[in-house]
Amino acid sequence: MPKFDVLTIGNAIVDILARCEDSFLEDNAIIKGAMNLIDAERAEFLYSKMGPAVEASGGSAGNTAAGIAGFGGKAAYFGKVAEDQLGQIFQHDIRAQGVHYQTKPDGLHPPTARSMIFVTPDGERSMNTYLGACVELGPEHVEEEVVAEAKVTYFEGYLWDPPRAKDAIREAARIAHENGREVSMTLSDPFCVGRYRAEFLDLMRSGTVDIVFANKHELLSLYETEDFELALGKIAADCKLAAVTLSEEGAVIVRASERVKIDAYAIDELVDTTGAGDLFASGFLYGYTQGRSLEDCGKLGCLAAAEVIQQIGPRPLVSLKEAAAEAGLI
């Protein structure tokens, strides 16, 4: 039996979250609802402008790994931090979730990545990310035995921003497929798709990636269309399996000609959408690696997303395993 259900690979980031008004975004030239890449100077400037903040380990794929472990799955993670305070926070948090994480930090420079996340009254999050130590991730950090022992290797599209990470992903995909495993990715962000559209399509069409996660905006950006049905048909043709989230409308899963619509779970209050897509992927992949139906996988994903958007921070404070049991899903 494989040692791990899912290995995730991503930018190891500590999130610094604060509430703000829409006018703050306008005054500081922050693109609402997007992930804005920034340099160290801009990071210091925005941090100085923030109100009271909450620090929480994040990073898209790290959140997904934590979610899988929260369901009771066996998760592993690759991602680079520095030997600084934020790096220690990140390492502690992900290991405390029960995730296998052994990527070695190298010194203090560049420092651990951080993302200043401004949450507006509508719950939308606008991320301003300084990648720092993330850019150091390369093929030498791919632990071959972990990839070989994971049913699915999952990575975030954001990894196409730091240059050497692409080589790490291609190496991991090679090892995974040589061992009969599958590879999955999330498109991450419409602006990320815009930067790397041709490369993302090639990853899918070449068979490097088997399973794709996207939200509606990312999917439409990928195929440069406003026709959602057209885009769904295209992604069904380009990869083995795709899961597309639709916010309060739930999600749709496509595999060849098969199409499964999943309703969203009712929530009491939308607090913060940070981590919604990451946690959807965690629920889906947990179900998928347990051999569950596509409908059950989608329900587990929607349940995890519903839990995380009712709190501040990208990793659920409740037990996903207990929530799934209460919902009759496990």
* Alpha carbon distance 209, 255 (integer Å): 14
Q: What is the pLDDT of residue 95?
A: 97
Q: What is the pLDDT of residue 42?
A: 96
* Alpha carbon distance 237, 281 (integer Å): 21
pLDDT band at 224; cut points 50, 70, 90: very high
Whether this prediction's pTM lies above 0.75 is answered by yes
Q: Which H or E run contains 299?
A: helix 294-308
Q: What percent of the chain has pLDDT over 70?
A: 100
Q: What is the pLDDT of residue 29?
A: 96
| pLDDT (tens digit per residue) in 230-289 | 999 999 999 999 999 999 999 999 999 999 999 999 999 999 888 999 999 999 999 999
Q: What is the pLDDT of residue 313?
A: 85
Question: Which pair of tokens denotes residue 296?
Answer: 């059950």
Q: What is the pLDDT of residue 227?
A: 98
- Provide DSSP, 152-171: EEEEEGGGGSSTTHHHHHHH
* Alpha carbon distance 279, 302 (integer Å): 8
* Alpha carbon distance 297, 283 (integer Å): 7
Span 101-123, average pLDDT: 94
pLDDT band at 51; cut points 50, 70, 90: very high
CATH number for the domain formed by residue range(s) 4-327: 3.40.1190.20
Output the CA–CA distances (angstroms, integers) from residue 9 to 6, 130, 142, 146, 162, in the order listed: 10, 18, 9, 11, 13
Query: Computed from CA positions of residues 160, 199, 94, 151, in that sequence, does the dihedral angle turn out positive or negative?
Result: negative
Span 156-163, average pLDDT: 91
| pLDDT (tens digit per residue) in 117-152 | 999 999 999 999 999 999 999 999 999 999 999 999
pLDDT at 14 over 90: yes
pLDDT at 195 over 90: yes
pLDDT at 157 over 90: yes
- Which residue stretches of 163-260 are H helix? 165-178, 190-205, 216-222, 228-238
Q: What is the pLDDT of residue 312?
A: 85
270 Cβ neighbours under 8 A, 6+ residues apart: 122, 123, 309, 310
Q: Which H or E run contains 35?
A: strand 35-37
Q: What is the pLDDT of residue 198?
A: 98
Pairing mode of beta strands 125-130, 113-119? antiparallel
Q: What is the pLDDT of residue 106?
A: 85
